[in-house]
Structures are given as structure tokens and as C-alpha cells.
Amino acid sequence: MKKIINIMMMAIVLACTGCSSIGPKGMRSVHPQYNDALTSVLDRQLLNNLVRLKYRENPLFLEINSITESRTRGLDGGLGNGKWFLHQSASQSTLVPTFKFLDSQTPTISYHPLRGKEFIQHLMTPIPFSAVLLMSQSGWKLERVFDLCIEKINGVDNASNASGPTPRIKPDYEKFYRMTSLLQKLEYEHKLALGLDSANKSLVLRFINVSNSPDMKELRKILDLEEGRDEFYFQDNFLSVSKQSLSVRMRSLMGLLFYLSHTVEVPQEDIDSGKVMTTVDGDGKVFDWTKNASGKMLNIKCSKVLPKNAFIATYHRGHWFYIADEDLHSKSTFMFVSYLFNLQAGEASARSVAPLLTIPTTSAK
């Protein structure tokens, strides 16, 4: 019996020693798992909603409020109820202890759908000028930022009829596409700067030593800008076009999602059956969305089987819709939209609280 008691005491000490390191060990094991799971879930949600919009289905965004995990570790053992038993043989009878270590975890995840006021604030309000500045100063190309976020500048249209369900008629985008390519060239040459004027808190586009360059002359002609002026302030009254400023109409985040959804590749049978809208040009020919800026930046493919090279994929209407892992342009655009979604959520609702992950890490004593 004395030996049995010693064994019990040793087991309890070992269990307590293990429990004393639950905190750091638990964090190292659980944090990466939740991090990977959350990233995967949110990416698939965004991709799935892009596919839904292609089919004119209602999108749904579920916000994660909190993740709480209850974790239990301990030692189960003792006298009675079969925990101890006699082992009998012809020559001896011994009392054999049995122990059971407990280790269980129970996660509780809290969701809420974006609806009503939150839906309007997050998805329907125009993307703010501050987002354009933040994204461009975070290393994103000005061409990508303008092509995705801006719907019209000084009357130059950027596929404004594509900011909703797939249009029947080809969008107007050629002049805007040329304008952004010129801006990108000037940015590469360090002849352009986008910043915030500290005096009037307005977003300003400044050109540096390019007044007489062919690119700047073409740019002035496209946007109808005043000769000799090198600074142009953004203003959101797009109905009031001026040669001294840039009258800008921004897309909403929902408009951006619609804009990108038109590039989703769909099965031919869904086109033939009229489940998706077919866009045509002025000659009645089917319009190729890969010619538009959105099609050049995002390519969502479809397949009957899940491809091995899928970076992110979602199953919908009997097919897999995915972004190829080697398609860096599409992955960049997908990342851009994810960042913009988070940024817009913060801009629209300052009271929003980020998802809370609660994991008990208290050391046992």
C-alpha cells in the first residue's frame, strides 16, 4: 500500500508539473491553429460572395465577434468505481492503480451577420479618400488603387455600369485605363506624389517637373486639366467638374465586389441556360471581361474537381471556383480587397471591436 501511495503522489506531482506549463504551451499550440483557420474562413467567405454576385445571389458576410476556448486538463484516478482493482494469481494478490489524464478543449465561436445599418456602413457607403491615400502609401500601385476604388474622375468613366449586377452592354473604361497607366508611369519615374494637404486636410495629386512632357500633356487632355497647374485637389462633388481640381466619384465596397465578380469564370452550361448575364459590345459580340482592368487584375477559374494548384477555393453550384496559387496578380488583388474590407469596416464603424480570442492560460498551483 505504501508503494501504491508513492506512485499516486508521483503521478499527481507529474500532472501538476505539466499543468504549470499549460499557459505558454497552450498558446503556442492553439494560436497558430486559430490564426490559420480564421484566415482560411474569411478568404473563402470573400471568394464565395464574389461567385454569388456573379449569379445574382444575395451575398452574406458573417462577422466573428469572439472565440472563447475552454480547456480542461487533469488527472482522474482513485479508490472505488473500478478505479482500483485486485489482480489475483495463484501465488499472490496485488492492488493495481489505474490513472487517466484528461485533456479536452471546447471552443465557442460567436458570429453576427452584417445587416441594416452595419451593412450600409460597411458595404454601401463610398470608399473614403483616406483609403486611397493609405493604400497607395502602403506600397500598392497607384494604378491598382485607382482602377479598383474610383468610378469616375472629371467625367472620365471607369466602368461605372459594372458597379452592380453584370451589365448587358460593355462598360466604358478605355480612357480611364489609359489615364491610370500614365499615372503609373509617372509614379515609377518619381514625377508624381499623392498626399494630404495639411492646411485644408484635402487629398492632393502633385506632379513634379513634368509640365511639358508628352505624358503630362496627354494626361491634361484626358482629364481636361488647367495648363501650367501642377497640383490638383480631390473633391467629391463629381457633378461639379473643374479644370483646377479632380472631381472624383468613389465606388462603394459592394460596387467593387460587383466590379470584380464579372471576371468569375462560369461553366458554359450556365451561360447557355441563362443563369448568368452575358455582356455584349456595340457590335453584339460577347464582351471579354479580361480586357477590362478588373479582368486583368483578378482571374477566378472554375473546375469540376478541386485543382491541386488552388490558392483558395470554394464549392458552389456543383463546381469549384478558385484562384490559382501561381496567379500573383489575382492573389494581390484578393489581398487588396481583404485589406480594404477591414479598413472600410474601421472607417465606417469606429465602435467596432475586433474578434476577441479568449483562451484560458492560468497555471495550475
Burial call 173-184: b when 16+ CB within 10 Å, e when fewer: beebbebbebbb
pLDDT tens profile 158-180: 999 999 999 999 999 999 999 99
Beta bridge partners of 271: none
Residue 228: its pLDDT value, please?
87
pLDDT tens profile 64-99: 777 776 666 665 555 444 444 445 555 555 555 565
Band the pLDDT of 211: cuts 50, 70, 90: confident
Give pTM, 2 decimals.
0.78
Contact at 8 Å (CB) between 131 and 148? no
Does position 364 have pLDDT exceeding 50, yes or no?
A: no
Q: What does the mean pLDDT of the chain come to?
A: 81
Closest CA to 260 of 330, 319, 320, 315: 330
Contact at 8 Å (CB) between 289 and 271? no
Percent of the chain surpassing pLDDT 90 = 53
Give the end-to-end CA distance of the chain in Å, rounded to a whole number: 27
Q: Map grid coordinates 489615364 to a residue.
A: 179
C-alpha cell of residue 234: 480631390
Residue 168 CB-density burial (10 A; 0-12 exposed, 13-18 middle, 19+ buried): exposed
pLDDT tens profile 134-152: 999 899 999 999 999 999 9
Contact at 8 Å (CB) between 50 and 302? no
Contact at 8 Å (CB) between 361 and 27? yes
The pair phi, psi for residue 313, each rounded to 5°, is -145, 155
Q: Map grid coordinates 484578393 to a residue.
A: 334
pLDDT tens profile 114-123: 777 777 778 8
Residue 20: its pLDDT value, please?
47
pLDDT tens profile 229-261: 999 999 988 778 889 999 999 999 999 999 999
Between residues 318 and 344, which one has the greater pLDDT?
Answer: 318
Say which range, 10-14, 214-218, 308-312, has the weakest mean pLDDT: 10-14
Instruction: Parse the chain into domains and list their residue ranges.
Output: 127-251
